Amino acid sequence: MSAIADTIGFTSPAAATALECDFPLVEISQIAEQESWRKEINRPIYHIHKWWATRLGSVFRGIVLGALSQPGTDIWAQFYKTHDLAGKVVLDPFMGSGTTLGEAVKVGAKAIGCDINPVSTFLVRQAFTPVSEAELRTAFERLERNVAPEIRHYYQTRDPLTGELIQVLYYFWVKTVTTPEGEVVPLLSRYVFSQDAYPKKKPRAQIVCPSCWGVLEDRYDATDLHCQHCGHEFNPQKGPAAGQYVTTKSGQRYRIKELLPKDGMPPAHRMYAMMALRADGSKVYLPVRDEDLALYVEAQKRLATEVLPLPETSVRSGHNTDQARGYNYTQWREFFNARQLLCLGLLLREILTIDELDIQEQMLCLFSSTLEFNNLFCSFKGEGTGAVRHMFSNHILKPERTPLENSVWGTDKSSGTFSTLFESRLLRAKRYLNEPFEIAFDHDQDGNRAGSRKTVASHPICARRVETWQELAASDYGLMILNGDSSKLPIPTGSVDAVVTDPPYFDFVHYSELSDFFFAWLSPALRQRYPWMAREDSSDQGEVQHKDPRVFARQLASVFTEACRVLKDDGVLAFSFHHSRAEGWAAIYEAINKAGLAVVAAHPVHAELRAASPKTTAKDPISLDAILVCRKKAFAQHQSPALQDVRQTVDTLVARLQTAGLRISAGDRFVIGAAQTLIARAADDLGFEEIKIDLEEIRLLVGPGGGNGDNEPDTTGVELATV
């Protein structure tokens, strides 16, 4: 039987689960694409805190249902039904944000999640902790009463029209360098610092004068301005910074890195403008005045006198941290200015006085989530959209030339602040536990899509959290969340019905290097409570992460081998994967093969929003994941297709997805082709180089791929982020 037949609906006689047969890849991809536009709203439980490469819940619901259902089951017909798969056990050895766990317990199965990263373990525990909204609101109101006024004090300015103090939403900063001649040069590539997300429709923009630093309003594309404050004439489109270089007023050109402080400190900053909220709710842009500078100095002085729970650890060298270290960001506290450190420290200190530990940890999780939007690596997205571009928008720690300082507590007009994330992230996630919903499409009388809606298709998520296998085995609906090396699981052999996961990237995104940013704040607060929080950083020698694909394959094989041990003989191991390079797929093949597994089916599904930040700069963005379905080799009896049949399979699958309205890139075609190649070679025992040659041949057959890895932007030569 060909791979085409397996993929488009024919059941293999050796199949033990529905996931090995037909999979509703079109229907689930359409739902997944809708979910991907607002993941934090459509699956809030997995976005209670930042985690990288969080997969789509609708896709994993389909995977879990297929993995736990008999062959011939119509997965799509079962998708919106309420299930009670009591007694079934699903394992995720790379649980990340907990997507597999949530989708498993929603259909009534037991779930085991393990991650070697302590931040992952902490956030997943918080996501699934049932706490009443009333208790959370009581704790929030206490914080609002005890510490919010102190924080708000440092985010206010005087309205020039009324003389009244009003709240500041955002402060605009710019990095500066000093030339050997003593000239201080701001790293502005243009003097337009705020414009609408759709400037051609709304051309009004905010511009700073390079002479007097006054704030002007004009068109976003203005090229000749006369400052109304000082009379200076300038071109707002031409700032002193361009690429890796800066030009002085006299025309002297310097490489920016050559002008970094020689004392090892990060670059200096200048605060030059702010967006404030008037009493009537309108927003106004204002220049920074002496009173505003004095308020910042006040915060600096207080920070020096307070005893606060601030991070004390260094930024370790690594693939995702060396860019920041190259600009002298060597301590995690240097990612924040003095006002941010003071206000965050005051808030954290007050949170740690909450006696009820469940409530305290929920607030700690919210606090940690707030850090992502309140640091010197954030920037301004513009009017008409969420104002704050968070620090991980590009999956790398890239120093910002024009940082945006958010107001830590925030107002009802803010985004990414403690008060707004309380409503939009924490409470929304808790409500999802009580009423877990799915996205469904409505159709008109002609069968055309007429909108989407939310529909409840699961019982409330109330699985009891247990700590041991014995407790899990004795419970009807249990959830075990582990921290540790997934190649050494405290689970009996042959006890798990399905393994469903999303492995780490092998090259570009090093989770622990990035999660150290949160760990530096969380560890001091939690190290006495949890052994896995008492580390120097969030890394571990057993983590599956390496730039060498062969080393990565060996690391991954150790986890897959353990997963194979605990998996029942008729169970499947299914995981999502995509990569634009042949060596990435060769590493996956080698890991599967060494673990004693074989790929028996592969289903392409929509995985990521095409407009996501890391993908906009990729040469050939990938939006599909391949769902690779594996069985133990001894039980994986199937007829492998010939390599020359793969092209036909790819064409068939691409046609189905395109007919359904999905855009398929050349990179997506390679993902489909590479996955089918793994099926074709499942019965073989090829080496890394042999399978890599096959994959390169498939690339030529199905069309050019491209890109720079796992949807990562090409950052070669990138110095500092531009405005």
Beta strands in 68-145 (DSSP E): 89-92, 110-115
Residue 610 has pLDDT above 70, yes or no: no
More confident call, 373 vs 463: 373
Average pLDDT rounded to a whole number, residues 388-400 = 86
Q: Which two tokens stand for residue 24?
A: 């509703």
Average pLDDT value for the chain: 91
pLDDT bracket for residue 508 (50, 70, 90): low
pLDDT bracket for residue 110 (50, 70, 90): very high
Residue 93 has pLDDT above 70, yes or no: yes
pLDDT, one tens digit per residue, over 667-703 is 999 999 999 999 998 888 899 999 999 999 998 888 7
Q: What pLDDT, on the 0 to 100 scale, is given for residue 616?
A: 44
pLDDT, one tens digit per residue, over 523-580 is 999 999 999 999 999 988 888 877 888 999 999 999 999 999 999 999 999 999 999 8
Residue 154 near residue 198, CB atoms below 8 Å? no
The span from the CA of 206 to the CA of 190, in Å, is 11
More confident call, 521 vs 609: 521
Q: What pLDDT, on the 0 to 100 scale, is given for residue 504?
A: 87
Q: Which two tokens stand for residue 149?
A: 């006024």
The span from the CA of 633 to the CA of 180, in Å, is 67
The span from the CA of 371 to the CA of 188, in Å, is 25
Q: Give the residue from 76, 61, 66 showing the smallest Cα distance to 26.
A: 76
Q: Give the residue from 567, 594, 419 showing the smallest Cα distance to 500.
A: 567
pLDDT bracket for residue 704 (50, 70, 90): low
CA 173 to chain CA mean position, Å: 25
Residue 213 has pLDDT above 70, yes or no: yes
Q: Which helix (H) or strand (E) holds 345?
A: helix 338-351
Provide the CATH number for the domain formed by 3-128+461-514+540-702 in this structure.
3.40.50.150
Strand-pair category, 165-178 with 156-158: antiparallel
Cβ-Cβ contacts under 8 Å for 89 (sequence gap 6 or more): 109, 110, 111, 112, 472, 495, 496, 497, 498
Average pLDDT rounded to a whole number, residues 137-145 = 98
Strand partners, 498: 90, 572
Backbone angles phi, psi at 286, to 5 degrees: -135, 150
The span from the CA of 358 to the CA of 366, in Å, is 13
Looking at the chain, which residues constitute the CATH 3.40.50.150 domain(s)? 3-128+461-514+540-702
Average pLDDT rounded to a whole number, residues 289-306 = 98
Q: Give the residue from 119, 92, 122 showing the smallest Cα distance to 105.
A: 92
Residue 720 has pLDDT above 60, yes or no: no
Residue 408 near residue 344, CB atoms below 8 Å? yes
Residue 609 has pLDDT above 90, yes or no: no
Q: Give the residue from 329, 336, 263, 279 showing the smallest Cα distance to 303.
A: 336
pLDDT bracket for residue 507 (50, 70, 90): low
The span from the CA of 638 to the CA of 43, in Å, is 36
Strand partners, 184: 178
Q: What pLDDT, on the 0 to 100 scale, is given for residue 619?
A: 61
Q: Residue 153: what residue type?
A: H
Residue 327 near residue 266, CB atoms below 8 Å? yes
DSSP 423-439: IIIIIHHHHHHHS-EEE
Average pLDDT rounded to a whole number, residues 449-469 = 91
The span from the CA of 521 to the CA of 185, in Å, is 33
pLDDT, one tens digit per residue, over 413-453 is 999 999 999 999 999 999 999 999 999 999 887 777 888 89
Share of the chain above pLDDT 70, in %: 92
The span from the CA of 651 to the CA of 360, in Å, is 53
Q: What pLDDT, on the 0 to 100 scale, is given for residue 634?
A: 86
Distance between the two ends of the chain, CA-based, in angstroms?
55
Return the number of other C-beta atoms located less than 10 Å from residue 385's C-beta: 13
pLDDT, one tens digit per residue, over 217-244 is 999 999 999 999 999 999 999 999 999 9
The reported pTM is 0.93
Residue 207 has pLDDT above 50, yes or no: yes
pLDDT bracket for residue 613 (50, 70, 90): very low
The span from the CA of 673 to the CA of 660, in Å, is 19
Q: What pLDDT, on the 0 to 100 scale, is given for residue 716?
A: 31
Q: What pLDDT, on the 0 to 100 scale, is given for residue 641?
A: 65
Residue 618 has pLDDT above 70, yes or no: no
Return the number of other C-beta atoms located less than 10 Å from residue 295's C-beta: 18
The span from the CA of 498 to the CA of 521, in Å, is 36
pLDDT, one tens digit per residue, over 148-167 is 999 999 999 999 999 999 99
Backbone angles phi, psi at 649, to 5 degrees: -60, -45
pLDDT bracket for residue 640 (50, 70, 90): low
The span from the CA of 699 to the CA of 478, in Å, is 44
User: For residue 206, what are the CA distances in angstroms to 186, 270, 596?
Assistant: 17, 17, 61
pLDDT, one tens digit per residue, over 298-314 is 999 999 999 999 999 99
pLDDT, one tens digit per residue, over 570-605 is 999 999 999 989 999 999 999 999 999 999 999 999
Strand partners, 218: 205
pLDDT, one tens digit per residue, over 325-376 is 999 999 999 999 999 999 999 999 999 999 999 999 999 999 999 999 999 9
Strand-pair category, 437-443 with 204-208: unpaired
Residue 293 near residue 218, CB atoms below 8 Å? no
Helix intervals (H) in 251-306: 290-305
Q: What pLDDT, on the 0 to 100 scale, is given for residue 710?
A: 44
